[in-house]
Structure 1
Amino acid sequence: MCGIVGLFLKNPALEPDLGRHLAAMLEMMTDRGPDSAGFAVYGQPGADGVGKITLRVAPGFDHAALQAALADKLGAAVEITPRGTHLVVEVPEDVIEAATAAIGTLAPGASVVSAGRRMEVYKEVGLPADVARAFGLAGMAGSHGIGHTRMATESAVTTAGAHPFSTGLDQCLVHNGSLSNHNQLRRRLKREGQSFETENDSEVAAGYLTSRLAKGDNLGEALTAALVDLDGFFTFVVGTETGFGVLRDPIACKPAVMAETDDWVAFGSEFRALAALPGIETARLFEPEPATVYFWERHQ
């Protein structure tokens, strides 16, 4: 049993309050997942041509030394901003792949959590409110975000096992449920060149969507294909640089509720996660149908 939340803003005027709303939604799902929590926020991109890599590091990590070594290795400007147990590393977009590989060599104790133009992912062990507070979620702005509270029933309680999982640029996934064919899929995706940090089936689901997106699908098409290729019971909430998607398996045994207004679309494992959103009184409330793709996109 885990908790999922998501908020996609149609109205740009609401972007300064994205983090505040997402933090409140995440905290409401504490009793569905008190072991660990995480979230992804799609904020404004940095300067033209600049990408972001989010790292998880140990206490006392020397980020200044990494910044100097990485700049020297890449021959490019590097900026590092600490945020709790994570670092946001800004590098030119065209060297994101090289930077990720270099970090593995220069800082073997650091773990890459996400990369992209707009997305930052943060996750940690602990109560959702504590995790949100540690990273300053309430003060973050952006167009959309997703979050997850985990009750670890099939693996250890670790930061690596917390959601969201990101296996592609500006793409991440949170999941409630269990996949029965994830090992088979993992082997296939490894043959395609993907690597995985955990044995978590949710990371495989994220990798599957990354594979579909790389082959030219949009998010809606990738989620539709998942209904054929993924076996098990699941609810997915997925983010891309411009999109927000929701998918439940054909049985749809996991709880889910959505609300939509002219200003926003929101998802929660339970209605109470949505109850404090502005305009909820007049929102269209609905339960997402089984085996049906819900997909919103906003280009900026």
Structure 2
Amino acid sequence: MSKQKIKVVISDLDGTLLNSDHTISDYTKSVFQELHKQNYLIIVATGRHHMDAMAIINTLGFPVYLVTSNGARIHSPQKELLYSFDMNGDSVKSVLALDIDPEITTVLFKETVWQTSKNNSKLNAFQKDLAYPPQVVNFAELEDFNAIKIFFTHDNHQKLVDLKEKILESHLDVFSHAFSLPICLEFMDKSVDKSVAISKILEKEGFSFEEAITFGDGFNDEKMLTSAGIGLIMGNAPENLKEKLHHLQVISTNNEDGVASYLSLNLENIGKKHKKTKA
């Protein structure tokens, strides 16, 4: 795929556009502002909730398309809701009725709040201003199980793998799932995926995946990485993702401004103004 044919830039947030402080560096902002001036279509696709993600992308200084909750929501650059798909409440209830290790933090993404089984300081650190507030609840007493996404986190990856297998035993045809990080397991409706949502945007704007370059670091990025004309894996991505997508190039890490560095070196008219390190 010729880099000269790239018209669309698509990026994940955590572990990709964001550094380990969960912020976008000034250098990355400057490169993306130049992309915007050069009329590239820019799409941010994240597992985060839209309220949380909007607070972050506002710091870019210009409007972008936003895909959130791994594809369950699409917002236009004008922040208009273009697409919305929720999980089936009865299916969510049946998952939460399983014998889930109490050490695992369980989260339901709702429209204006995320309901969690316990306060998790590591999870709270992903938000700088808590634009999307947490609410500690007892799921055994919950009445409304409609949700955008179910999220589980634990420092022990194997505990999450075991939970994934338990849930899929009876929900294989209902949910899709992904490890956005080794410590983060996410379940969505079967029809939801970042790549599906991105396709809707590309069709609306008259582009194809072949004209897109994508950046990601998690298994929830897999389909968008493999669908694009150029798919690039972050240096900080899990080794098993790099091995699975061994045909894709691995670039610098998120803490090295890997996305912006690659773009400045490889996209015409961007690098002339924004030189940094080799990606």
Per the normalisation by structure 1, the TM-score is 0.29
Of Structure 1 and Structure 2, the greater helix share is in 2
